[in-house]
Amino acid sequence: MRKGLFALAAVGLMATSIAACGTEEDGDTDTGTGSGTSSAGKVGVILPDTKSSARWATADFKYLTEAFKAAGVEADIQNAEGDKTRFTTIADGMIASGVKVLVIVNLDSGTGKSVLEKAKAAGIATIDYDRLTLGGGANYYVSFDNTEVGKLQGQGLVDCLTEKKATKPVVAYLNGSPTDNNATLFKQGYDSVLKPKFDAGEYTKGPDQDVPDWDNAQGGTIFEQMLTQNKAIAGVLAANDGLGNAAIQVLKKNKLNGKVPVTGQDATVQGLQNILAGDQCMTVYKAIKKEADAAAELAIALAKQETPSTATKTVTDPETKADVKSVLLTPQSITAANVKDVVADGFVTKEELCTADFAEACTKAGIS
């Protein structure tokens, strides 16, 4: 699970400010805007936690920092560590410090909305990153097409059940957090694929539960209860790799791993290793660098008081029915047949993925 990198990133995430700017040699230590060629204001970024997914520590923090530094724009990037009070405190500090743009990944829409309203009252441009804040009224939204993510998960599970020649399989849902709009969109996506199967009697709808805060430990407990109550579960639609792994650990205890297909999302090292081992059916790869770069590009334009040109799509806020200018990126389904694509893209390294236990599987998967 990238323990060394995770620990290093987590230390960085606790810092009060990331000066993505020049040094004294750049001759511009007062403004913090690099080599003196930029007149952009400071950007504040609040990431959600380091528990729900490794990505917030190992990917988003790194890529956002690099993007702002490359542009010579000062950025204050902090992590709320899953604490709503901390989230609000960080936002208050950033607003008081005079950031010109605030980028947030909300912990829930209520907390996110409160922060966005404070920022707007202070004349600060706002961006919802990865998760839309319902009713929040952010100026812009940057994410992946999350309904498409769910469709890929649903189709991935169908493909795996078909490969196993499953007959009227009972399918269990292990959904994401009920306070995360993305989880709602994922479910809309996989429901659009699986509901017709249930309606036609080809599949049987099994237990369907949300996992508060994407908590993997709770996910494991919930799935163990599901399996205890319904031994016939033959497929698991798990909303991300962490929840997928929680289900896999329960399946292992019951000697069902590899027999019951399990989905995932995020293309984590653990998720990819589970795929190589044959315990996980598929995951969804979201090129986080592209998402971080898109958010940074948008924020940089706003910080320079320029009109962004990249937000060419719109997403409708289901609460206010208002359209939010958006950048939506395309996700990719990953199975054993194309795990190598994630390595080739540089998202994970061969060294991280192909440890001793997975060396042979990596060779079979064409990872070199």
pLDDT at 2: 40
At 303-343, the pLDDT tens digits run 999 999 999 999 999 999 999 999 999 999 999 999 999 99
327 beta partners: 142
Mean pLDDT confidence for 288-302: 97
At 242-275, the pLDDT tens digits run 999 999 999 999 999 999 999 999 999 999 999 9
pTM of this structure: 0.82
| Other residues' Cβ atoms within 10 Å of the Cβ of residue 164 | 15
pLDDT at 18: 40
Mean pLDDT confidence for 17-29: 36
Residue 253: exposed, middle, or buried by beta-carbon count in 10 A (0-12, 13-18, 19+)? exposed
| Other residues' Cβ atoms within 10 Å of the Cβ of residue 258 | 16
pLDDT at 179: 92
pLDDT at 40: 78
Mean pLDDT confidence for 214-243: 97
Helices (H), the chain: 3-13, 55, 61-71, 84-97, 109-121, 146-163, 181-199, 216-229, 241-253, 269-277, 288-303, 339-344, 350-353, 359-364
Mean pLDDT confidence for 337-365: 96
Q: Distance between CA 228 and CA 275 in Å, rounded? A: 25
User: Is the pLDDT assigned to residue 15 strictly greater than 80?
Assistant: no
pLDDT at 273: 98
User: Is the pLDDT assigned to residue 167 strictly greater than 70?
Assistant: yes
pLDDT at 39: 66
pLDDT at 268: 94
- Closest listed residue to residue 133, CA positions, set 148, 123, 122, 118: 118
Mean pLDDT confidence for 191-206: 98
How large is the C-alpha radius of gyration of the chain? 21
Contacts 24+ apart (CB under 8 A), 180-185: 180/108, 180/131, 180/214, 181/109, 181/131, 181/132, 181/133, 181/134, 181/318, 182/130, 182/131, 182/132, 182/143, 182/146, 183/210, 183/214, 183/239, 185/146, 185/147, 185/149, 185/150
Q: How confident is the model at residue 368 (pLDDT cuts 50, 70, 90)?
A: confident
Contact in structure between 285 and 264 (CB atoms under 8 Å): no
- Closest listed residue to residue 233, CA positions, set 162, 151, 173: 173
Q: Distance between CA 105 and CA 91 in Å, rounded? A: 11
Mean pLDDT confidence for 232-240: 98
User: Is the pLDDT assigned to residue 28 strictly greater than 80?
Assistant: no
Residue 141 corresponds to which amino acid? Y
pLDDT at 51: 85
Q: How confident is the model at residue 34 (pLDDT cuts 50, 70, 90)?
A: very low
pLDDT at 33: 34
Residue 278 corresponds to which amino acid? G
Cα 142–Cα 144–Cα 148 angle in degrees, nearest 5: 145
| Other residues' Cβ atoms within 10 Å of the Cβ of residue 321 | 7
Q: Between 59 and 32, name the one with better pLDDT.
A: 59
β-strand pairing of 43-47 with 101-104:
parallel
Average pLDDT score, the chain? 90
At 73-123, the pLDDT tens digits run 999 999 999 999 999 999 999 999 999 999 999 999 999 999 999 999 999
At 46-78, the pLDDT tens digits run 999 988 888 898 899 999 999 999 999 999 999
pLDDT at 38: 52
Residue with token string 């991280």: 352
- Closest listed residue to residue 339, CA positions, set 368, 365, 363: 365
User: Is the pLDDT assigned to residue 11 strictly greater than 80?
Assistant: no
Mean pLDDT confidence for 161-178: 97
Contact in structure between 113 and 84 (CB atoms under 8 Å): no
- Give the DSSP H/E element, type plus range, for residue 129: strand 125-129
Q: How confident is the model at residue 125 (pLDDT cuts 50, 70, 90)?
A: very high
Residue 1 corresponds to which amino acid? M
Question: b/e per residue, 190-221, with b = 16+ CB within 10 A?
Answer: bbebbeebeeeeebbebbebbbebbbbebbbe
Cα atoms in the 13 Å half-sphere on the side-chain side of 294: 22
Q: Distance between CA 152 and CA 171 in Å, rounded? A: 16
